[in-house]
């Protein structure tokens, strides 16, 4: 096992800082050493709770639940005050400062930034993320996402990737990291060894990167090596198997011994640290994901993750159980003294790189006045610019309705197709403001259009008394309606899809049961039809018949503002397709 070199990249520590790392470790009790291996996810922000859990479990880092800037700031101030050793405090700033606090600025999901075809916006995403996260007391981000999307069916990184080209992913990831580190922050690129090949979500099942060693070297390996050379400090290991490289380093292994990277010495110690030369710190992805929990008993998972070469373990399940499992793994020799020492040096090495050892607990959290930068007009203007540059006219063939005008398309029917993820609900994303479909309706009406929002027959039937539902369903399927019911009443139909997929097995449209109604775009030869996706870029697989297809990437108001400007022809469509929105299917191009 190669031991960490704290004088080398990415730490560059001087003798004084190295002495602090070594002396601090030497002064720790074994309980404090084991505690440093954990990243906690707190269930409360009260000072009593935070003081109690830090004192009891002595964890080395935190990644917290969403909250406002002031809530997160107060939490982080308490954590640093009560922690004996300065703490790493992480945020998921994948798309902007909104990953650090709910009132932070979302610059754009990775695929949206990739669609601008300009790495300066990835830099801005990192810069804004760093400024806003630092203001609330964070010092670490679980970003950038360096996955490469090579499978349109993959539901977990559909919008969470800069694209399908390793060169673009590397260029944009380096730009993000450069911007983020300007605020004296460190990044955790993820999810090693790389998502985007399998179509499964490691939250819910196994996930496998099936590339050969050669294919991986030319794609994911190129990105990881480039980021390591650029000085990334930490890597998040994913619950993703890679049989080719595990077999390469362990030729005698049996297929059933294949493990996700978080539990695989061959991938973490031999590939990441050995072949790629990564000298930094490794954190596991969240330990409640089925891609990890289904591999072995939890009592074995914790120490084996550290033994494999991971340095920090993301999230307790039950803190008492997990602490005991990790301690027993050390006492039983699964975690050797050498591996524990190495992990601790890497963890404290990151803290020393950040200069936390030179600050008092009060100085680590910045002055509260700095919260004034959160959601600044400067940052919002960047987000608006990204929307203008990113919205992509993927397909526009035949007799296109663009640009729209009230003279030609006075009567518009908006048909929403939506599914919100549980994560959006947890963050308070549902019902807190005017819905995106109402906002779009109002924008179009301000342009002089008459707009109707379609309500599906199924949604209407769902409002009936239970005893009437069955007969209503039968009536719907027995009934027939003339096509003129649509063609005589509307001049244009716009399908608007928002299907969020995080922790879902698929990111496909779930069509409402219907018969000849506007739910499904069967009418592309009857009326001009536009399909707009506000999330997943791959809906052409489900609507190949549509002749005009637009990816807008999100449903933020400024995105919809830019979208309407483009629909009516006052602004050009500037975005490029960073992934294969045609899904590798020939009929999607017709």
Determine the Cα–Cα distance for residues 452 and 81; give it in Å rounded to an integer: 56
Residue among 8, 11, 5 at smallest CA distance from 353: 11
**pLDDT-derived band at 455, boundaries 50, 70, 90:** confident
- Tokens 């982080």 identify what position? 76
Per cent of the chain over pLDDT 70 is 96
Percentage above 90 pLDDT, the chain: 87
Q: What is the pLDDT of residue 424?
A: 54
The whole-number pLDDT of residue 431 equals 43
Checking if the pLDDT of 426 tops 80, the result is no
State the DSSP code for 98.
Answer: G
Phi-psi map region of 294: left, alpha, beta (phi>0 left; psi -120 to 50 alpha): alpha
pLDDT of 501 over the 70 cut: no
Give the H or E element holding residue 248: helix 243-249
Phi, psi angles (nearest 5°) of residue 504 = -135, 155
Q: How many CB atoms lie within 10 A of CB 265?
A: 20
- At 472 the pLDDT is 74
* Residue-level pLDDT at 465: 84
CB 24 within 8 A of CB 85: yes
| Mean predicted confidence (pLDDT) in 93-111 | 97
**pLDDT tens digits, residue range 177-215?**
999 999 999 999 999 999 999 999 999 999 999 999 999
Q: Taking residues 467-474, report their average pLDDT.
A: 76
- Model confidence at 106: pLDDT above 50: yes
Q: What is the DSSP string of 120-150?
A: HHHHHHHHHHHHHHHHTT--EE---B-----
- Residue 236, helix vs strand vs coil: strand
pLDDT tier for residue 347 given thresholds of 50, 70 and 90:
very high
Residue 590, CA distances (Å) to 495, 573, 577, 580 in order: 18, 20, 17, 15
Q: How many other CB atoms are there within 10 angstroms of residue 352's CB atom?
A: 25
Cα distance between residue 107 and residue 124, in whole Å: 8
What's the rounded mean pLDDT across residues 579-586?
Answer: 96
Per-residue confidence band for 430, with pLDDT thresholds at 50, 70 and 90: very low
Burial class (CB in 10 A: 0-12, 13-18, 19+), 484: exposed
Interval 21-42 mean pLDDT: 96
Residues forming the active site = 285
Mean pLDDT of the chain: 94
Rounded to whole angstroms, how far apart are CA atoms 439 and 455?
16
3-state SS, 548-559, equals EEEECCCCCHHH
Give the whole-angstrom CA distance, residue 262 versus residue 314. 11
Asked if residue 97 lies in contact with residue 105, where contact means CB atoms within 8 angstroms, the answer is yes
Q: Is the dihedral of CA 384, 388, 389, 391 positive or negative?
A: positive
Task: Give the pLDDT of residue 429.
Answer: 46
- DSSP state at residue 278: -
pLDDT at 130 over 90: yes
State the sign of the Cα–Cα–Cα–Cα dihedral 32, 84, 80, 51: positive
Separation of alpha carbons 243 and 211, rounded Å: 9
CA distances 232 to 224, 277, 322, Å, are: 9, 12, 29
- By DSSP bridging, strand 548-551 and strand 392-396 are antiparallel
pLDDT one-digit tens code per residue, 45-98: 999 999 999 999 999 999 998 999 999 999 999 999 999 999 999 999 999 999
Decide if pLDDT at 432 tops 60. Answer: no
pLDDT tens digit sequence for 364-404: 999 999 999 999 999 999 999 999 999 999 999 999 999 99
How is residue 444 written in tokens?
């179009």
Listed residue (322, 320, 318) closest to 306, CA to CA: 322
| Token pair belonging to 455 | 């309500």
What value does the mean pLDDT take over residues 444-473? Answer: 84
Strands 186-192 and 140-141 come out as parallel
Distance of CA 263 to the CA centre of its chain: 22
Whole-number pLDDT of residue 111? 98
- What SS3 string covers 328-394? HHHHCCCCCHHHHHHHHHHHHHHHHHCCHHHCCHHHHCCCHHHHHHCCCHHHHHHHHHHHHHHCEEE
pLDDT tens digits, one per residue of 144-159 = 999 999 999 999 999 9
Peptide bond into 193 cis (omega under 30): yes
Backbone φ, ψ for residue 560 (5° rounding): -65, -35
pLDDT(423) > 60: no
């Amino acid at each position: 096992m190669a031991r960490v070199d704290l004088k080398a990249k990415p730490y560059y520590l001087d003798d004084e800082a190295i002495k602090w790392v070594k002396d601090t470790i030497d002064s720790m009790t074994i309980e404090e050493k084991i505690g440093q291996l954990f990243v906690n996810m707190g269930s409360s922000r009260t000072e009593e709770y935070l003081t109690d859990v830090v004192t009891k479990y002595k964890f080395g880092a935190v990644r917290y639940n969403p909250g406002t800037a002031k809530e997160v700031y107060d939490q982080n101030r308490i954590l640093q005050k009560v922690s004996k050793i300065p703490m790493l405090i992480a945020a998921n700033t994948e798309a902007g400062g909104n990953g650090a606090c709910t009132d932070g600025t979302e610059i754009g999901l990775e695929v949206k930034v990739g669609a601008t075809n300009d790495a300066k916006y990835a830099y801005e995403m990192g810069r804004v993320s760093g400024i806003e996260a630092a203001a609330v007391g964070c010092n670490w981000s679980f970003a950038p996402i360096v996955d490469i999307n090579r499978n349109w069916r993959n539901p977990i990184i559909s919008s969470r990737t800069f694209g399908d080209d390793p060169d673009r992913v590397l260029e944009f990831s380096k730009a993000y990291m450069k911007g983020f580190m300007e605020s004296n922050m460190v990044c955790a690129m993820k999810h090693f060894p790389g998502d985007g090949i399998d179509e499964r979500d490691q939250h819910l099942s196994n996930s496998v990167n099936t590339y050969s060693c050669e294919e991986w070297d030319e794609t994911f390996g190129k990105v990881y090596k480039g980021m390591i050379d650029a000085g990334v400090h930490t890597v998040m290991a994913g619950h993703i198997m890679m049989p080719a490289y595990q077999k390469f380093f362990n030729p005698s292994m049996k297929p059933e011994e294949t493990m996700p990277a978080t539990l695989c010495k061959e991938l973490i110690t031999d590939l990441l640290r050995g072949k790629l030369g990564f000298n930094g710190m490794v954190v596991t992805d969240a330990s409640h994901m089925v891609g990890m929990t289904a591999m072995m008993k939890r009592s074995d998972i914790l120490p084996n993750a550290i033994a494999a070469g991971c340095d920090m373990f993301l999230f307790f399940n039950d803190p008492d159980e997990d602490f005991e499992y990790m301690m027993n793994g050390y006492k039983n020799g699964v975690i050797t003294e050498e591996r524990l020492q190495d992990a601790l040096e890497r963890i404290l090495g990151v803290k020393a790189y950040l200069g936390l050892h030179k600050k008092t607990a009060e100085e680590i959290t910045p002055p509260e006045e700095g919260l004034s930068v959160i959601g600044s007009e400067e940052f919002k203007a960047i987000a608006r610019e990204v929307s203008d540059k990113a919205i992509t006219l993927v397909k526009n063939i035949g007799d296109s309705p663009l640009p729209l005008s009230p003279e030609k398309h006075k009567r518009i029917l908006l048909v929403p197709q939506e599914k919100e993820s549980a994560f959006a609900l947890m963050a308070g994303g549902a019902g807190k403001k005017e819905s995106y479909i109402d906002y779009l309706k109002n924008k179009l009406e301000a342009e002089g259009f008459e707009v109707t929002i379609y309500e599906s027959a199924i949604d209407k039937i769902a409002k009936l008394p239970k005893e009437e539902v069955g007969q209503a369903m039968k009536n719907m399927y027995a009934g027939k309606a003339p096509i003129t019911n649509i063609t005589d009443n509307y001049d244009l139909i716009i399908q608007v899809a928002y299907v969020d997929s995080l922790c879902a097995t698929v990111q496909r449209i779930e069509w409402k049961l219907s018969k000849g109604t506007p739910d499904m775009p069967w009418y592309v030869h009857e009326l001009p039809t536009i399909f707009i996706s506000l999330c997943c870029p791959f809906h052409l697989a489900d609507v190949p018949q549509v002749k005009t297809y637009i990816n807008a990437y999100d449903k933020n108001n400024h995105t919809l503002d830019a979208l309407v400007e483009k629909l009516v022809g006052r602004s050009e469509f500037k975005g490029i397709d960073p992934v294969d929105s045609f899904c590798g299917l020939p009929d999607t191009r017709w």
